[in-house]
Amino acid sequence: MKSRIVFAGGSGFIGNALTKLFSLRDYEVFILTRKIRERGDGVREIGWDGKHLGEWIQVLDGAEAVINLAGKSINCPHTPANLQQIVSSRVDSVNAIAAAIEQVKTPPHVWVQASAVGFYGDTKDKLCDEAAPNGNDSLAKICREWEAAFTVAKVPKTRKVILRIGFVLGRDGGALPVLSRLTKLFLGGSVGTGRQFISWIHLADLVQMFLTAVEKENLSGTFNAVGPKPVTNVEFMRELRHALHRPWSPPAPEFTVKIGARLMGSEPSLALVSQRCEPKFFLQAGFRFQFPQLRGALENLNS
């Protein structure tokens, strides 16, 4: 019998990559989603609202793992209303899964919970491992509430892992396709001061981290899901221009970033805040990166 894995919020950019990986490894894959689609890949979608218990709890009974990626995207203006939706969508999903695990006869062996390196706030040039303190900006506070709900969940028979995810590089989602289009239009200059750090990770390495969290039974606790070589924005954009064969481009001052973000319906702080983090615990666990260097990651994604 196949081992069952359940994804909450598994229909997005990262979730699609994960469902493909686990399907290839012969897991029985279920996705909890608000909008059920017909699929031809063997993955089954189950309806849920991200908040309340329902028939979906049955797929958790006897599952090998549940992976929670649910939550409103942070790529929106950070108005008070949007920030409230961002935090409630995350905390509600954690509470719903915790309540479901308490009810089922055979709880999942492991619960892998997504978080973000936004937990640390604006780190400037300070290198943060998993022991670094929580920041004090809006996203840091959201991450604190998100993780706190997970930490207090009473699921003693289920191993718990938090992955604080960084800036994910992939062809089909995230910010890289947008940055690549701008760079191809000769608008690939540094952003703001350019000194802010980016803790990036190739999608291929990120999905292997999730797989490791599920299959390596001695892993529990909190892990930075980032590559081993964070870079400044200046370095990142230079490498992206190199990968796309574009020359130097003029930098984008902070005021233009704010205007551009407003026009695109995004949030300027996402590009201006510095997050310099290291995957200390994954490295200690012997994790081997396929793409440890930014140049190789970008060349792979643009080949």
Each residue of 151-165: pLDDT tens digit? Answer: 999 999 999 999 999
Question: Which tokens hold the place of 154?
Answer: 């009473």
Say which amino acid occupies 180: S
256 Cβ contact partners less than 8 Å away, ≥ 6 residues apart = none
The whole-number pLDDT of residue 226 equals: 98
The whole-number pLDDT of residue 141 equals: 97
268 Cβ contact partners less than 8 Å away, ≥ 6 residues apart = 254, 257, 258, 260, 261, 262
Q: Which CATH superfamily is domain 4-170+200-226+278-290 in?
A: NAD(P)-binding Rossmann-like Domain (3.40.50.720)
The whole-number pLDDT of residue 127 equals: 97
The whole-number pLDDT of residue 41 equals: 84
The whole-number pLDDT of residue 128 equals: 98
The whole-number pLDDT of residue 39 equals: 81
The whole-number pLDDT of residue 42 equals: 85
Chain position carrying tokens 């481009």: 249
Task: Kindly list the domain boundaries of the chain, sorted by start residue.
Answer: 4-170+200-226+278-290
Contact call for residues 136 and 187 (beta carbons, < 8 A): no
| Residue ranges for the chain with pLDDT beneath 70 | none
Report the predicted TM-score, pTM, of the whole model to 2 decimal places: 0.96
Question: Which tokens hold the place of 104?
Answer: 């089922």
Contact call for residues 48 and 92 (beta carbons, < 8 A): no
Contact call for residues 113 and 94 (beta carbons, < 8 A): yes
Backbone angles phi, psi at 217, to 5 degrees: -70, -15
Q: How many CB atoms lie within 10 A of CB 223?
A: 25
Say which amino acid occupies 261: A
Collapsing DSSP to helix, strand or coil, 110 comes out as strand
The whole-number pLDDT of residue 77 equals: 95
